[in-house]
Structure 1
């Protein structure tokens, strides 16, 4: 990944941000996880692995496979279907590597409750397990029906539409929304 290519984290869920590491799916897909270190930097930037975590040279293929399984599963369920058995297996296998959440206590409204913190993983496989766990949680929640693909004809990023009306069209108004509106305005003016 080049230095001027920053990670886009507009998905609203860590699993969708991970899916969005493959850019320009609408045309010729552009891979941002080109080197094992790219994967490690993405996981660190997402706060999923400790600073001293290391990545092996063979970590990219399973990471990319997980990314595509999450994408197919989420879009399938968001569209009213079910994920394929192979995608379910891939996600479940990755979830097994996730560290267990840390049990913590919380006093709320005069009552003692259990709370958990996700913590950080010590290695890349466990970090990917945290991504997969987030995907599993999304797939089991009603929020999955609010997953959208950016409406820009030059984007294709996935995001959760948390707008009150449920009609958000862009992954980011500042990036895709404004650019699309400017292009449309310029076309109308030129006619």
Structure 2
């Protein structure tokens, strides 16, 4: 899936930067520029921050801690202490600064460390939800993107109907309309 922002939470989208976990393991944060671009695409900052190799490594480590925490949240299992501590350590740092520009528009600025702190803070928010949304993983076997299910019935299955949902519909259609073969 690459760089998509469909989950309803920056931390969940960040977890989704490694897609098809356990099969293809498609890395979305392939280099420092990709991470800087992700921060802008996620709306954390207006301009790409300078990202070092250690910033990229720290981001990938946090992503894996977030994945383990989200997995535990979805499964209702105990939170991995090491991952919880790592998340709290990063979340305690200051995030990007927001100011009002002369044109009356919001300006978001921050370095790579501030952006990662914002992702971690979004991760913390997942564990104290008051809006009724539920955290889920996409039901597509090839997709491992988590998302917030805000549907009234809480029965949403796909992270995105335009990709994973459509693939599932096509597979189901082909399965029921396949020509009989001798």
Report the alpha carbon displacement of residue 91 of structure 1 after superposing the two structures with TM: 0.6
Q: 1:29 aligns with which of 19, 22, 25?
A: 25
1:53 aligns with 2:41: no
Name the CA shift for 1:170/1:35 in 2 (closer, same or farther; >3 Å): same
Q: Which residue of 2 aligns with 1:85?
A: 81
Contact 1:77–1:144, Cα closer than 8 Å, also in 2: no
What TM-score does the superposition give when structure 2 sets the normalisation length? Answer: 0.85
User: In 2, are the aligned partners of 1:13 and 1:159 still within 8 Å (CA)?
Assistant: yes
Q: Distance in 2 between matches of 1:154 and 1:53?
A: 32
CA-CA distance at 1:145 after TM superposition: 7.0
Number of equivalences: 174
Structure 1: how far apart are the matches of 2:56 and 2:96? Answer: 23
1:127 aligns with 2:115: yes
Give unpaired runs (5+ residues) of structure 1: 104-117
Report what 2:102 is aligned to. Answer: none
Q: Residue 123 and residue 88 in structure 1: after superposition, are their counterparts in 2 closer, same or farther (change >3 A)?
A: same
Specify the alignment match of 1:107 in structure 2: none
User: Root-mean-square deviation (CA), in Å?
Assistant: 2.5
Q: Is the 8 A contact 1:74 1:144 kept in 2?
A: no
Out of 64, 71, 74, the residue aligned to residue 67 of structure 2 is: 71
| 2:161 matches 1:173 | yes
Aligned to 1:97: 93
Equivalence for 2:170: 182
Deviation at 1:26, TM superposition (A): 4.5
**Is residue 2:30 matched to residue 1:42?**
no
SS at match of 1:131: helix
TM-score normalised over the length of structure 1:
0.81
| Structure 1 outlier segments of 4+, above 3 Å | 100-103, 118-121, 142-145
Q: Which runs of no fewer than 5 residues in structure 2 stay unpaired?
A: 100-105
- Matches of 1:130 and 1:69 in 2, distance apart? 15
Matched, 1:7 2:7: no
